[in-house]
């Protein structure tokens, strides 16, 4: 398969199946709490509903308010172009960014979303934006620690090389240090998801 087709296929796959992953996590959490919980397809229903709602534009909103969703979406799509998910080798654009570049793009998307909340002029949106940024300040150092730990194990910060290192060394995957880092990474992601 040509690398460019693989690049496009990865972006489309991530866009199509990301809501399914979110729904599966919500469903698993509900089952662990002995609740029925939402369907795994609930995020798709929510996206469909949001896309068919009318626009609500604050009177005080500037161009930043309109730019922020596009900037956040572009950041997420760029991450999908850099970090391989469907392959174990680097994608054509994979050399343009490493794991820290992906972390920067996640932070940039969050920054634009918080900026849109502040630009709306609503005090409630400002409170939500400041709360999200506060949780980000607490979560990002943990994620950076995990990334640096993985970089020390694999001797690089390129995501596909990190993945290949773990796939080729089961001793590394089951080592106490890797399990501890993985737990810290999952807790940090859970805290970030809970804040949004």
- Spell out the residues 6+ positions from residue 32 whose beta carbon is closer than 8 angstroms to its own: none
Q: Is residue 109 part of a domain?
A: yes
Same domain, 88 and 166: yes
pTM metric for this prediction: 0.69
The whole-number pLDDT of residue 92 equals: 72
Question: Confidence class of residue 196 from pLDDT cuts 50, 70 and 90?
Answer: low
| Domain count of the fold of the chain | 2
**pLDDT tens for each residue of 5-16:** 878 888 888 889
Pair 8, 49 in one domain: yes
Mean pLDDT over 28-54 rounds to: 89
**Do 79 and 171 sit in the same domain of this protein?**
yes
Verify that 85 and 31 share a domain, yes or no. no
**pLDDT computed for residue 105 by the predictor:** 85
Same domain, 124 and 154: yes
Q: Estimate to the nearest angstrom the gap between the alpha carbon of 113 and the chain centroid.
A: 13
Task: Identify the band that residue 88 occupies on the pLDDT scale cut at 50, 70 and 90.
Answer: low
pLDDT at 41 exceeding the cut of 80: yes
Which of 46-60, 80-94, 182-196 has maximum average pLDDT? Answer: 46-60
In terms of domains, do 2 and 98 share one? Answer: no
**In which domain, by residue range, is 170 found?**
65-195
Identify whether 10 is part of a domain: yes
Shared domain check, 83 and 1: no
How do residues 160-177 score in pLDDT, each as one tens digit? 666 666 667 666 556 655
Residue 59 included in any domain: no
Query: In the 3-class helix/strand/coil scheme, how is the chain assigned residue by residue?
Result: CCHHHHHHHHHHHHHHHHHHHHHHHHHHHHHHCCCCCCCCCHHHHHHHHHHCCCCCCCCCCCHHHHHHHHHHHHHHHHHHHHCCCCCCCCCCCHHHCCHHHHHHHHHHHHHHHHHHHHHCCCHHHHHHHHHHHHHHHHHHHHHHHHHHHHHHHHCCCCHHHHHHHHHHCHHHHCCHHHHHHHHHHHHHHHHHHHHC
> What pLDDT is recorded for position 58?
79
């Amino acid at each position: 398969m040509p690398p460019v087709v693989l690049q496009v296929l990865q972006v489309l796959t991530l866009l199509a199946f990301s809501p399914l992953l979110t729904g599966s996590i919500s469903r698993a959490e509900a089952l662990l709490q002995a609740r029925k919980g939402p369907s795994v397809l609930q995020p798709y229903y929510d996206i469909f509903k949001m896309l068919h709602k009318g626009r609500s534009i604050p009177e005080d909103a500037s161009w930043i308010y309109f730019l922020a969703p596009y900037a956040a979406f572009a950041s997420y799509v760029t991450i999908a172009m850099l970090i391989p998910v469907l392959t174990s080798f680097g994608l054509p654009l994979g050399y343009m960014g490493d794991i820290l570049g992906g972390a920067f793009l996640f932070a940039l998307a969050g920054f634009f979303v918080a900026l849109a909340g502040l630009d709306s002029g609503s005090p409630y949106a400002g409170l939500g934006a400041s709360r999200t940024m506060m949780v980000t300040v607490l979560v990002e150092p943990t994620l950076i620690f995990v990334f640096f730990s993985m970089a020390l194990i694999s001797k690089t910060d390129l995501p596909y090389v990190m993945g290949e290192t773990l796939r080729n060394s089961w001793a590394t995957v089951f080592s106490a240090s890797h399990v501890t880092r993985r737990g810290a990474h999952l807790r940090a992601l859970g805290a970030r998801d809970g804040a949004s």
